[in-house]
Amino acid sequence: MIELILVIYEFIWVIVLPVLFFIPKLRDQWTERLLIKKEEKGPFDIWIHAASVGECYILLDLVSYLRGLKIIATTNTAQGKEILEKASKENLFIRYLPFDFVFILKKALSLWNPKLVVLIETELWPVLLYTCKKRNIPVLLINGRLSERSFKAYKKLKFFWKKLSPSMIYAISEEDAERYKYIFGEEKVAIMNNIKFDRIKLDTIKDNPVEKILPKNKKIIVLGSVRKEEEQDLLWVIQVILRVLSNSVIALFPRHMERVVWWKKALKEKGITYKLRSEIKDASWEADVLLWDKIGELNFTYSAANSVFVGGSLRSCGGHNFLEPLAFGVIPCVGPFIDNFKWVGKDLFDEGLVLMVKDKGELIKCLVCNAVLDSDRETVKKRFRYFLSSKKGGLNTALNVIINYLKKGV
């Protein structure tokens, strides 16, 4: 029965693959995903897969402590790959994740020959899991999370997924653990602290490259990680804020760079002046909106902000990391859709360290009030530091688990 489902799954891939070829950003990845280009040969100690940007940062944290091991790293996105390549660690070889076909995964495992496969968060690819089982390669899922929506989908084929179960799953909350246990069995699941808590640094950034390009006499309002689904709402929010708070500048960060084109057109149509980040070298520019077309500067801008909205939360997109602005002493506003961050818990909201709004009208009030009041950053950081004190340690847990599995295979 398992083999039959996999055959159906691969047949769907055969139908979809020609369509994927005509998506420009995937076409550029084609040779790597099909393992056509010349590949680095193993054996590798570990194959670590990180879906996108957030997981890639976790991957780099792990690799920085796994010195002396040869590691192949894969990701699904161009942004994720760019982050990995910038790190340029000697023991790290970087590729896009191969397409989830049996013949491709067999080739990947034969070429790379890893002793251990580590998946970060929720990257459960059926053929990858199946092929690793056939070759007796242990698979670890660390920092695991499973949303309610994904859980409902996995439940429908519970018998199938249980047969493909990773060797061990380390979930980041009781809720996630219970979902994983239902699918894969209680003996396969343990709980760990989220590694993202370990990544949070409360020190002020020295020599912040963004500060020199931001006007000193303006309130800086950051709209971070804005998703396509909430663009129309936030376009209206921008118009109202610029009328209500005339001494403000909006720092606008689309989550995906291809949306910069849409924002340029939309701002122009509404008569809102803007500058692209790539055009700015100092603070002498004048415009209502600074539109970010450069990756890797969101945290720098959070550090310099008076008020922040963390996107992906005003519409049903799951939300993005609202802990990042808190690390710089800025209380963020978020919408009601933060399913991807329910693991954080309610304490931060109860204590007023994160402010949740129900719609775009409330968001305007939240952003304007935060900009005008401009809370004491050191006090906010002190309160956040206390919250974090019991949440760290996930990185050490993951490293210990990985090392123990490698020792078993020696």
Residue 225: the pLDDT is 97
What mean pLDDT value characterizes the chain? 92
Token pair of 206 as six digits: 């020295």
| Whole-angstrom distance, CA of residue 194 vs CA of residue 396 | 11
If phi over 0 gives left and psi between -120 and 50 gives alpha, with beta otherwise, what is residue 22?
A: alpha
Q: What is the pLDDT of residue 409?
A: 67
Tens of pLDDT, residue by residue over 176-206, are 999 999 999 999 999 999 998 898 877 777 8
Query: Distances from the Cα of 342 to the Cαs of 18, 173, 183, 338, in angstroms?
Result: 37, 9, 20, 7
Q: Which residues contact 298 (CB under 8 A, 6 or more apart)?
A: 222, 224, 225, 253, 292, 324
Sheet of 116-120, strand order: 92-96, 71-75, 46-50, 116-120, 139-144, 168-171, 189-191
pLDDT the model gives residue 251: 98
Q: What is the pLDDT of residue 98?
A: 93
How large is the average pLDDT for residues 324-334?
94
410 has a pLDDT exceeding 70: no
Nearest alpha carbon to residue 29 among 80, 124, 98, 90: 98
CA angle 295/37/135 to nearest 5° reads 100
Predicted local confidence at residue 30, as pLDDT:
81
- Which pLDDT band holds residue 207 (cuts at 50, 70, 90)? confident
Average pLDDT over residues 381-403: 94
Going along the chain from its start, the domains and CATH numbers come out as 25-193+393-409 (3.40.50.11720), 211-388 (3.40.50.2000)
Compute CA 145 distance to the chain's CA centroid, rounded to the nearest angstrom.
Answer: 12
Is residue 94 predicted with pLDDT exceeding 80?
yes
Residue 107 reports pLDDT greater than 80: yes
Nearest to 84 by CA among 58, 102, 110, 65: 58
Q: pTM above 0.85? A: no
Name the one residue in this structure whose structure tokens are 């991807």. Answer: 340
Cα separations in angstroms, 67 against 44, 64, 70, 355, 403:
13, 6, 8, 41, 11
Question: What pLDDT was estimated at residue 11?
Answer: 82
Comparing CA positions, the residue from 36, 42, 119, 110 lying closest to residue 76 is 119
